[in-house]
Amino acid sequence: MKDESERVSNRLPMDESREHLMVKVARMTYQQELNQSEIAAETGLNRWQVSRLLQEARDLGIVRIEIIPRSPRRPDLETALQQTFNLNDSVVVSSDGEQAQSLDTVAQAAGQYIASIKSNGATVGVSWGRTMGAVAHWLPLQWSDGGEVVQINGTVAPISGVTYHNDVAGIFARKAGARLVPLPVPAIVGQRVTREVLERDRIVADVLTKARSAQILIFSCGSLSEESVLVRSGNILRDELATLLSKGAVGDVLGRFIDVNGEIVDAELDARTIGLSLSDLKTSGKAIGIAAGSEKFNVVLGVLRAGLVNVLVTDEATATFALEHA
């Protein structure tokens, strides 16, 4: 004689309606917070069936459970940054782990902060890169209601297969139900005249105009090494990297390479860069810079000294370095 569990399992549907039932039971459990007895009573199933469907939903990835420890913030460093560098706001999180973990922690904090702004219907400008890719991952669904997400610097990579380009702005837009406005041109072109011709194009000019009028700008600070996404994507050549380092460059903001004081180090290269300028960042009502890790220490210091951000999201080690060298 078959036991009760085997007889019950035979009564569960085996076609696609089984998956619909899994979703229904999962929503009742995790969104409506009903217990298994309540779900059984409402659906006509029994508790064993409910439990089996929930387990299958987890096994198939329909339900994913993440344990996300809350990152302790450092309000003392936040206040010090705001006072020292005349910021409107700052978020500083503890950074006891490895560099990759620090980036993930800062990205998570940035996603939470962006969602707290309540930017419903606004035009939000975003950049790309590894850090921005992590922020896009942690950005919660419905972080904003509609509006537009516009790309604020060029995204087309000369070397194919490099991620963190158009997909960053796309994820921002999808999670908000917003309209995506891409900027489908390279970050850096080969000649100044090429940049001038592209920026005169109606489509490109309209995107840049919209980017300059965005109520919120969100971007990361890039380090300067062979691991930089600008180098790996082919926007910057190896000999150009060496030249930038010899001129005192410590990193980039929107593909614009700066020194530790936030000044452009190579005017010719900057004239080949497509996207918002440093002056556009200085005049923005809310310019949110995001950075983590020791390789970003000097570029963050340059960004703060030059007033390129009025909101900074970072880790405590980066914040401490900036304050010690203010």
Q: Which domain holds residue 53?
A: 4-59
pLDDT digits (tens, 9 = 90+) for 211-244: 999 999 999 999 998 888 888 877 888 899 999 9
In whole numbers, what is the pLDDT of the chain averaged over residues? Answer: 89
- Tell me: do 318 and 199 sit in the same domain: yes
Helices (H), the chain: 4-9, 16-30, 36-43, 47-59, 75-85, 99-116, 130-138, 166-176, 192-200, 202-212, 229-232, 238-246, 267-270, 278-282, 297-306, 316-324
Residue 296 lies in a domain: yes
Q: What are the structure tokens assigned to 175, written together?
A: 């999670």
**How are beta strands 251-253 and 216-222 bridged, if at all?**
antiparallel
The whole-model pTM stands at 0.77
Residue 68 lies in a domain: no
pLDDT of residue 98: 60
- Tell me: do 116 and 249 sit in the same domain: yes
Among the residue ranges 66-75, 279-288, 313-322, the one predicted with the least confidence is 66-75
Q: At what angle do helices 316-324 and 297-306 cross, to 10 degrees?
A: 60
Residue with more model confidence, 68 or 74: 74
Q: What are the structure tokens assigned to 34, written together?
A: 């009903």
- Tell me: do 278 and 201 sit in the same domain: yes
pLDDT band at 68 (very low <50, low <70, confident <90, very high): low
pLDDT digits (tens, 9 = 90+) for 245-259: 999 999 999 999 999
> H or E stretch including 315?
strand 311-315
- Tell me: do 47 and 111 sit in the same domain: no
pLDDT of residue 10: 46
Contact 149, 172 (CB under 8 A): yes
Residue 67 lies in a domain: no
Residue 91 lies in a domain: yes
- Tell me: do 53 and 98 sit in the same domain: no
pLDDT of residue 66: 66
Contact 286, 241 (CB under 8 A): no
- Tell me: do 13 and 122 sit in the same domain: no
- Tell me: do 80 and 160 sit in the same domain: yes
Secondary structure of residue 124 in the 3-state scheme = strand
Give the number of domains in the chain: 2
DSSP 167-180: HHHHHHHHHHTPEE
Place of tokens 């460093």: 77
Domain CATH number, residue 23: 1.10.10
Place of tokens 């779900």: 39
pLDDT of residue 242: 93
pLDDT band at 46 (very low <50, low <70, confident <90, very high): very high
Secondary structure of residue 313 in the 3-state scheme = strand
Q: What are the structure tokens assigned to 138, written together?
A: 């942690």
Contact 232, 162 (CB under 8 A): yes
pLDDT of residue 118: 80
Residue 192, pLDDT > 90, answer yes
- Tell me: do 169 and 214 sit in the same domain: yes
**Percent of the chain's residues with pLDDT above 90:** 71
Secondary structure of residue 151 in the 3-state scheme = strand
- Tell me: do 188 and 279 sit in the same domain: yes
- Tell me: do 307 and 178 sit in the same domain: yes
Residue 13, pLDDT > 80, answer no
- Tell me: do 285 and 153 sit in the same domain: yes
How far apart are alpha carbons 125 and 112 in whole angstroms? 17
- Tell me: do 26 and 137 sit in the same domain: no
Residue 187 lies in a domain: yes
Residue 317 lies in a domain: yes
pLDDT of residue 7: 39
- Which letter does DSSP use for residue 38 in this model? H
Residue 118 lies in a domain: yes
How far apart are alpha carbons 165 and 185 in whole angstroms? 11
Secondary structure of residue 69 in the 3-state scheme = coil
Residue 70 lies in a domain: no
Domain CATH number, residue 100: 3.40.50.1360
